[in-house]
Chain A
Amino acid sequence: MAYLLHHLLTESAARFPDKEALRFEGQGMTYASLDSSTNQVARVLRRLGMAPGDRIGIYLHKSAASVVGVFGIMKAGGTYVPLDPNAPPKRLAHIIRNSGVKIVLTSGQKLRGVAEIVKEGSPLEALVMMDDQPSSRSSPDGLPRLIPWSQVCTEDRRPVTSEGVIENDLAYILYTSGSTGEPKGVMVSHRTLFTFINWCSKEFNMDSNDRVTSHAPLQFDLSTFDIYVTIKAGGTVIIVPENLSVFPERLADLLESEAVTVTYLVPSILSMMVNYGKLSGRKFSALRRILFAGEVFPIKYLRALVAAIPHVTYYNLFGPTETNVCAFYKVQQKDISAECTDPVPIGIACENMQVFAVDEKGDLVDTPGTAGELWVRGSGVAQGYWGDGQKTAMNFVRNPFQNCRDEIAYRTGDIVKLDNDGVNWRYVGRRDHMIKSRGYRIELGEIESVLYTHKRVKEVAVVAIPDELVGNRIKAYVVLLEGNGLTAKDLETHCSSSLPRYMVPEWIELCSDLPKTSTGKINRPLLAQT
């Protein structure tokens, strides 16, 4: 019985050794080959002194190597920590220090980035190179010890033992935006992800004929569906190269040419595809399911998508990284009829999970139309935030509705209301300053904190401007200390050195003061309107 994520690979490799497990840029990799390569990576990590439970970084552009990497790390008993290949070195250095990463899997292309991370004060012990480019064969000055791919390939191909690793151990840590200025690491155990995988496998009838895109980057939990649910089914993971997904038309081409059966994308990518993907005349004959999550899907684009690809079943999946997916909704014709203006519901709890809403008085919401904060309980709830007991205790709390024993539930911070049918939940908004833009989760407070670290900044308000295509766009209002010639551009540069591109405000406006409410707070709703 599989209980660790890499067992899924070993089992499917035994059933389908010669079947393609992965495809990337037209090249395939069989289950047998993926299984043995990942054994070799695991052996190298063990040889480097890695102990079960150690966190291992993975700093790669999306490729077959990223999948080899995650399985290799877990086979060695480690916890993988995705390092966004496009994030600024300063942010990655923080993540590496915070999680205690000492070894990183990377490629020749990213060595310059590694050097910058090391310069930011995050010492590493070793780099395992996942490619065989000339630049990946020797270690430039100032970089940690480098293990070339050719050395990985000389390792024994047989499995390593997973002694001492159990399902409650961490499979990965995903860093998400944190309101107090630094990203926080969501800890996810093997068991937690199995709850999600088991539900998906059944709900979406996954089998070995499925060909599933892997579009989302590893630091985004949509990637766990693409990789683990597909590998469990013995299907084929079609890795979407980062530069291909830039153009919606090419993504649509790939869905057709690779005969993709299931795809899981953020709504802004699907909206882009509807607007610019030249969908008319395409058949997508193999495609049977489109899953979306990460942000609200504007109904007019969903309607257009269903009209363009009518034979597919659509599902809205909902949940923060802390619960992966906790609720889901199968889209029906009535939800997208011409007179509908509301986004589709977030639906009901996934199998083996429970969701409920708690109103301001602390009571359970059970009347249709009333709103409350969404809470989640079940084994699909994450283990908290790495190294931050305080934040964990604030959000992963004792479930007050469990009378028999102590049980942890997760407070999502999402406000939901019970639909008129009394069954499905609808998303209303957030109780804090978290927003979504292109599916990325962004704490406006983190952007404000970064702006405040500039010594010439006096006061800041960062607001989200709603946008149909991408969800939200970010605008910052900044009041400077008197008498200096700082420009909006200077502040943009300052933000870019600490924040990933999707968090850098699109507009920065310098102003002499910020509007206040009668209670003296910054009037954010007013700013968001202007």
Chain B
Amino acid sequence: MRMLNNVEAIETLIVGELLEGSGRNKLDPEESLISSGILDSLSLLRLVAKLEEDFDTTVEDGELIPNNFESISRIAAFLDRKRGG
């Protein structure tokens, strides 16, 4: 259940923070945020800051990798692991 909520919360966060003005308001949880150009080195930092704030967590050295941030579902799974879920 928490996983599903995370997916929605992350989608809302990305749409609100990174897709403003792009005309897009839906994202597939499996869509690559990298190849679609949604995440770049600027927006990744912005996203990490928001995630740390909203999910009360800290992204550590070695965790900022595609495996954890490639898509919304990857981010959700990563946050779940961080919480020991």
Contact = CB atoms under 8 A, between A and B. Distances in A.
Contacts of A275: 61
Interface in B31-85: 34-35, 37, 39-46, 59, 61-66, 69
A489 B65 CA distance: 30
Given A438-B42, A506-B46, A277 B61 contact: yes
A243 interface: yes
Given A247-B69, A249-B65, A489-B20, A501 B59 contact: no
A178 to B, nearest CB: 21
A243 B35 contact: yes
Interface residues of A, number: 29
Nearest to B68: A247
Contacts of B59: 276
B42 A501 contact: yes
A88 B20 CA distance: 12
Interface string A236-260: 0000001101111110000000000
A269 B41 contact: yes
A528 B44 CA distance: 24
B61 A246 contact: no
Interface stretch (A41-49, A455-463, A490-498): A490-498
A502 B35 CA distance: 19
Interface residues of B, number: 23
Interface in B1-43: 16, 20-22, 34-35, 37, 39-43
A247 B45 contact: no
B62 A246 contact: no
Contact of A278 (B37, B61, B66, B69): B61
A193 interface: no
A304 to B, nearest CB: 11
A86 B22 CA distance: 11
A245 B41 contact: yes
Nearest to B23: A493
B21 A246 contact: no
Contacts of B44: 246-247
A116 to B, nearest CB: 11
A246 B20 contact: no
A506 B46 CA distance: 9
Contacts of B64: 247-249, 272, 276
Contacts of B45: 272, 469-470
Centre residue among B16, B21, B40 by max chain A CB count within 10 A: B21
A346 B46 CA distance: 29
Contacts of A506: 46
B17 to A, nearest CB: 8
A496 B62 contact: no
A493 B40 contact: no
Contacts of B34: 243, 246
A395 to B, nearest CB: 28
A146 interface: no
A469 B16 CA distance: 22
Contacts of B63: 276
Interface in A38-91: 86, 88
A34 interface: no
A504 interface: yes
B40 A247 contact: no
A242 B41 CA distance: 9
A258 to B, nearest CB: 18
A277 B65 CA distance: 9
Contact of B21 (A250, A272, A278, A497): A497
Contact of A496 (B22, B41, B61, B65): B22
Interface in A308-351: none
A438 B42 CA distance: 8
Given A250-B66, A276-B63, A242 B40 contact: yes
Nearest to B60: A276
Nearest to A502: B42
Contacts of B37: 86, 242-243
A496 B62 CA distance: 32
B72 to A, nearest CB: 16
B69 to A, nearest CB: 7
Contacts of A497: 21
B20 A492 contact: yes
A492 to B, nearest CB: 5
A245 B42 CA distance: 10
Contacts of B40: 86, 242-243, 245-246, 501
A276 B20 CA distance: 27
B20 A493 contact: yes
A309 to B, nearest CB: 15
B41 A492 contact: no
Interface string A473-496: 000000000000000010011011
Interface of A: 86, 88, 242-243, 245-250, 269, 272, 275-278, 438, 469-470, 489, 492-493, 495-497, 501-502, 504, 506
25 contacts: A86-B40, A242-B37, A242-B40, A243-B37, A245-B40, A246-B34, A246-B39, A246-B40, A246-B41, A250-B65, A250-B66, A272-B41, A272-B45, A276-B63, A276-B64, A278-B61, A278-B62, A469-B45, A470-B42, A470-B45, A493-B20, A496-B20, A501-B42, A504-B21, A506-B46
Given A247-B66, A275-B61, 10 more contacts: A249-B64, A250-B65, A276-B62, A276-B63, A489-B20, A493-B20, A496-B20, A501-B40, A504-B20, A506-B46
Closest 8 CB pairs of A and B: A496-B21, A276-B64, A278-B62, A243-B34, A492-B20, A493-B21, A496-B20, A246-B41
